[in-house]
Chains A and B, each alone.
Chain A
Amino acid sequence: GAGVSQSPRYKVAKRGQDVALRCDPISGHVSLFWYQQALGQGPEFLTYFQNEAQLDKSGLPSDRFFAERPEGSVSTLKIQRTQQEDSAVYLCASSSLRGPGNTIYFGEGSWLTVV
C-alpha cells in the first residue's frame, strides 16, 4: 500500500478485555516497529521485527503485551486483560532496510482508551 495502515483507528475497551491492534506495513518493508505514545509524550519503543523474526521485545511493558508477524508482513499487537494505564496511542512503523540510519515510516496510530 501507499503507507503504513493501522486498524482500528480508535478502540474503547473495558478494563480486563483483550484487544488486538493490526498493522499493515508498506509492501516489501523488512523492518517493523511498534511504539506506544502517551498523551504529551514522545513515542516509546515496544518491539521490533525483521521479517517474521522478533529481534527485540525489550520495550513490552508486561507479559500482557504480545506481538507477532507470522508471515513477515502484517503484524498484530495484542494486549491481554487491559488496564487503564494501557490507554495510549499505539504506533506502527516500517522501514525498507535492516539496519539503522534509514527512513522509518509511521502509521496514524491506534488510539486505545481503557475504561
Chain B
Amino acid sequence: SQKIEQNSEALNIQEGKTATLTCNYTNYSPAYLQWYRQDPGRGPVFLLLIRENEKEKRKERLKVTFDTTLKQSLFHITASQPADSATYLCALQTGANNLFFGTGTRLTVIP
C-alpha cells in the first residue's frame, strides 16, 4: 500500500541548533515533493518544492534534499528559533495535480 511517513510525531531541539525532519514514502513515484508549515488552527503554508531530478533546494535557513532511490526527503532548518515551532508536513505530487500528505512532525524549538 502507499505510505508517507514522517520520522516522528514530535521533535524538540534547542534554539540555534539545526532541526532535521525526515519524510519516507513507499509505492509512490512523485514528480515533486513539497514541504509545508502548519500552525495550530491554521491552514498549511507552502515552504519549498523540489523536483524529482533535483537533489537539493535551499531557501534562507531552509534546505530540502530529495533522494528518489532511497525514497526519502530531508528537511533542515538551520539556526532554529522558537518562532520555527510548528507542525511540518511533507507532501508528494505525482503526475496529477493533487497532493498526498504525511502525518506531520511537530517541532518545538526550546529557547
- Residues of A that sit less than 8 Å from B by CB: 4, 31, 33, 35, 40-45, 48, 50, 55-56, 59, 91, 93, 95, 98-109
Alpha-carbon distance A48/B93, docked complex (angstroms): 13
Q: How far is the CA of A103 from the CA of B99 in the complex (A)?
A: 11
Q: How far is the CA of A59 from the CA of B51 in the complex (A)?
A: 25
Assess the B101–A101 pair: CB atoms within 8 A: no
Residues A103 and B98 in contact, CB atoms below 8 Å apart: no
By a CB distance below 8 angstroms, the chain B residues around A33 are 97-99
On whether A98 and B97 interact (CB within 8 A), knowing A91-B44, A106-B44, the answer reads: yes
Closest to A46 in B: B98
The chain A residue with its CB closest to the CB of B42 is A108
Structural contact, B97 and A100, CB atoms closer than 8 A: yes
Q: A100 with B95: in contact, given A43-B101, A44-B101 (CB under 8 Å)?
A: yes
How far apart are B64's CB and chain A's nearest CB, in angstroms?
14
Q: Are B99 and A104 in contact (CB under 8 A)?
A: yes
Known: A91-B43, A106-B44, A107-B43. Is A45-B99 also a contact (CB below 8 A)?
yes
Q: Is the CB of A100 within 8 A of B46?
A: no
Q: How far is the CA of A109 from the CA of B93 in the complex (A)?
A: 21
Q: Give chain B residues whose Cβ lies under 8 Å from the Cβ of A101.
A: 31-32, 49, 51, 93
Residues of A within 8 A of B93 (CB): 100-101
How far apart are B53's CB and chain A's nearest CB, in angstroms? 11
Please give 14 more A-B residue pairs, beta carbons under 8 A apart, in addition to A41-B103, A103-B46, A108-B42: A33-B98, A33-B99, A42-B89, A42-B103, A50-B97, A56-B97, A56-B98, A91-B44, A93-B43, A95-B97, A101-B93, A103-B49, A108-B41, A109-B42
Q: How far is the CA of A96 from the CA of B45 in the complex (A)?
A: 16
